[in-house]
Amino acid sequence: MVYSMTGFGSSTKENNLVKVDVEIKSLNSKFLDLNIRLPKVAQPFEMDFRNVVNQRVKRGKIMLNINATVLNTSLAKRGINRELFLAYKNDLEKLADENALQKDDLLQIILSLPDVIETPENESDDDVKEVFLSALSEAIDALDTFRLQEGETLSKELAQYAKNILNKLREVDANKQLRVDKMRKKLQDLLDKHLTNEQKDTGRLEQEVVFYIERFDITEEIVRLEGHINYFLKELGGEGSGKKLGFIAQEMGREINTIGSKANDEQIQHLVVHMKDDLEKIKEQVLNIL
């Protein structure tokens, strides 16, 4: 199955403690690039969220947005670390006196300093964590469904591009012998134009034809390219890894380029141009596959 790199999923879950809304979006990226926005009540579970996303999403630029509405006031209770508050107060008042600074905003400054405001551990943390993870899992399920639907569309497009190349390749194969005949006629015309009947050497003509046939033979390239295309189509119907499909497309490109450089024929060159056009579309779309 082919999965698109892009997708969206969302979920809403709640219990008697908290209501959770999760949205997850995915865009193209070679690696997993995770960006999380969390409410304060969910911050203790950030590593759990990251582990779940790492295991299930695998790759892509991921934007995870989690919102929460506290339904039980016990989760919102906060306290002041009095010892730390007084330590900050004494240090700041001393600095203010030494430097003749105003003390009007001292309280607000102290309350904004790290760890002055404490959120006590709650016996219900496991229940809160469970609802967050449940919502996240459901959102990822929705993301996977979206990615699969998009992947099916991508798979059909890629298969068509690959079949287009295969059809053009068969035309190249069909024109292969005509190219030899054209080469033979061109050499014969050159001999007729520049040599008399006595100077002509039929054996030499055949040697030259054989030389050019060997030099510009594209049979192996045709066979290899057809093999790559069939492998590509097989992968589309199987695991459909974007990286693997990209590697196969690179191999297809090498064979197409070699056919073009050895073609020495206008008709085959035109077919090569069409094959390259479809291959570029494949390379572009493969970047969208997980």
CA distances to 183, 186, 197, 207, 213 from 200, rounded to whole Å, are 17, 15, 5, 13, 21
* Residue 230, both tokens: 């069939």
Task: Tell which residue, 265, 254, 270, has the closest CA to residue 212.
Answer: 265
Q: What is the pLDDT along the chain (290 residues), one digit of tens a residue?
A: 899 999 999 999 998 888 999 999 999 998 899 999 998 888 889 999 999 999 999 889 999 999 998 887 665 555 677 888 888 888 888 888 888 788 778 887 887 787 776 655 554 578 889 999 999 999 999 999 999 999 999 999 999 999 999 999 999 998 877 777 777 676 666 666 655 565 555 566 666 666 666 777 888 999 999 999 999 999 998 877 899 999 999 999 999 999 998 887 888 999 999 999 999 999 999 999 98
Architecture of domain 7-75+124-149: 2-Layer Sandwich (3.30)
Going from N- to C-terminal start, the domains of the chain cover 7-75+124-149, 79-117, 150-286
